[in-house]
Structure 1
Amino acid sequence: MCGIQSRYIRRGQPDAGFALFESESLKWPGFVEFDDVNGKVLTYSAQDSIYKVFDLKNYTMLYSISDKNVQEIKISPGIMLLIFTKVGGHVPLKILSIEDGTVLKSFSHLLHRNKKVDFIEQFNEKLLVKQENENLQILDVRNSELTEVSKNEFMTPSAFIFLYENQLFLTFRNRTVAVWNFRGELVTSFEDHLLWHPDCNTNNIYITSDQDLIISYCKADSDDPLSEGNGSINISNILTGKCLAKIRASNGFPVEKQCSCCDVECGCRSKVQSSSSRIRSTVAEALEDITALFYDEERNEIYTGNRYGLVHVWSN
Structure 2
Amino acid sequence: MDRTSAAKERFRNMRLVEEYDTQDPKDHDLVALPLLMKRTKVIDIVAARGIIFALAQSGVCASFSRVSVDGSDNFSSLKCISTSIKYILEGQAEAGFALFESESLKWPGFVEFDDVNEKVLTYSPQDSVYKVFDLETYALLYSISEKNVQDIKISQGIMLLIFKKAKSHVPLKILSIEDGAVLKSFNHVLHRNKKVETIELFNEKLLVKQKNENLQILDVRSDELIEVEFITPSGFIFLYEKQLLLTFRNRDVSVWNISGELVTSFEDHHASDPVYITSDQELIISYCKADTEEDQSIEGNAGSINIRNILTGKCIAKIKASDDHLKEEDCSSGLGNSKQRKNVVDEELEDITALFYDEERNEVYTGNIHGLVHVWSN
Q: TM-score range by the shorter chain?
A: 0.7 to 0.9
* Alignment match of 2:156 (pick from 44, 69, 77): 77
Q: Distance in 2 between matches of 1:116 and 1:103?
A: 27
Matches within 5 A, 1:4-83: 6=48, 7-9=50-52, 13-14=63-64, 16=88, 17=93, 18=96, 21=99, 23=101, 24-83=103-162
Q: Distance in 1 between matches of 2:301 and 2:97?
A: 36
What's the counterpart of residue 181 of structure 1?
A: 257
What's the counterpart of residue 160 of structure 1?
A: 236
DSSP-derived class of the 1:304 partner? strand
* Alignment match of 1:242 (pick from 299, 306, 314): 314
Greater mean alpha carbon deviation, residues 303-312 or residues 54-63: 54-63
Is 2:152–2:161's contact at 8 Å kept on the other side of the alignment? Answer: yes
DSSP-derived class of the 2:52 partner? helix
What's the counterpart of residue 214 of structure 1?
A: 284
What's the counterpart of residue 270 of structure 1?
A: none
Return closer, same or farther for 1:28/1:253 CA change in 2, 3 Å cut-off: farther
CA RMSD of the aligned region, Å?
Answer: 2.9
Q: Give 5+ residue unaligned stretches, structure 2.
A: 1-43, 55-61, 66-87, 329-333
Return closer, same or farther for 1:303/1:47 CA change in 2, 3 Å cut-off: farther
DSSP-derived class of the 1:80 partner? strand
DSSP-derived class of the 2:170 partner? strand
Q: Give 5+ residue unaligned stretches, structure 1.
A: 257-273
DSSP-derived class of the 1:250 partner? helix
Superposed structure 1 runs of 4+ greater than 6 Å apart: none
Return closer, same or farther for 1:251/1:4 CA change in 2, 3 Å cut-off: closer
What's the counterpart of residue 121 of structure 1?
A: 200
Q: Distance in 2 between matches of 1:223 and 1:30?
A: 42
Cα shift readout 1:45-76 (whole Å, capped 9, x = no counterpart): 34443322222223333222223411111111
Is 1:229–1:288's contact at 8 Å kept on the other side of the alignment? Answer: yes
Q: Distance in 2 between matches of 1:183 and 1:241?
A: 19
AA in 1 matched with 2:369: R
* Alignment match of 2:272 (pick from 201, 221, 243): 201
Q: Distance in 1 between matches of 2:173 and 2:327?
A: 49
Is 1:289–1:307's contact at 8 Å kept on the other side of the alignment? Answer: yes
Return closer, same or farther for 1:31/1:10 CA change in 2, 3 Å cut-off: closer
Greater mean alpha carbon deviation, residues 52-61 or residues 227-236: 52-61
What's the counterpart of residue 361 of structure 2?
A: 299
Q: Distance in 1 between matches of 2:327 and 2:281?
A: 27
Is 2:247–2:254's contact at 8 Å kept on the other side of the alignment? Answer: yes
- Determine which structure has more spread, i.e. the larger CA radius of gyration: 2
Percent identity over paired residues:
67
Greater mean alpha carbon deviation, residues 39-48 or residues 229-238: 39-48
Cα shift readout 1:192-240 (whole Å, capped 9, x = no counterpart): x4224xxx237x1111111111111112383465733332111100110
Cα shift readout 1:166-199 (whole Å, capped 9, x = no counterpart): 1110111112110011222111011xx4224xxx
Is 1:90–1:110's contact at 8 Å kept on the other side of the alignment? Answer: yes
Is 2:365–2:375's contact at 8 Å kept on the other side of the alignment? Answer: yes
Return closer, same or farther for 1:183/1:244 CA change in 2, 3 Å cut-off: same
DSSP-derived class of the 2:361 partner? coil
Cα shift readout 1:118-177 (whole Å, capped 9, x = no counterpart): 111111111111101111111111111111112xxx100111111111111011111211
AA in 2 matched with 1:9: I
What's the counterpart of residue 80 of structure 2?
A: none
* Alignment match of 1:229 (pick from 286, 301, 315): 301
* Alignment match of 1:276 (pick from 288, 312, 336): 336
Identify the structure with the greater helix proportion. 2
Q: Distance in 1 between matches of 2:117 and 2:46?
A: 20
Structure 1 residue 139 and structure 2 residue 199: aligned? Answer: no
TM-score, normalised to structure 1, is: 0.82
Greater mean alpha carbon deviation, residues 34-43 or residues 55-64: 55-64
Cα shift readout 1:74-129 (whole Å, capped 9, x = no counterpart): 11111111111112311111111111211111111000121110111111111111
What's the counterpart of residue 228 of structure 2?
A: 149
DSSP-derived class of the 2:160 partner? strand
Q: Distance in 2 between matches of 1:216 and 1:136?
A: 27
Is 1:3–1:20's contact at 8 Å kept on the other side of the alignment? Answer: no
Return closer, same or farther for 1:235/1:4 CA change in 2, 3 Å cut-off: closer
Q: Distance in 2 between matches of 1:3 and 1:189?
A: 27
Is 2:45–2:367's contact at 8 Å kept on the other side of the alignment? Answer: no
Return closer, same or farther for 1:276/1:226 CA change in 2, 3 Å cut-off: farther
Q: Distance in 1 between matches of 2:298 and 2:104?
A: 44
AA in 1 matched with 2:227: E
DSSP-derived class of the 2:166 partner? coil
Q: Distance in 1 between matches of 2:268 and 2:45?
A: 32
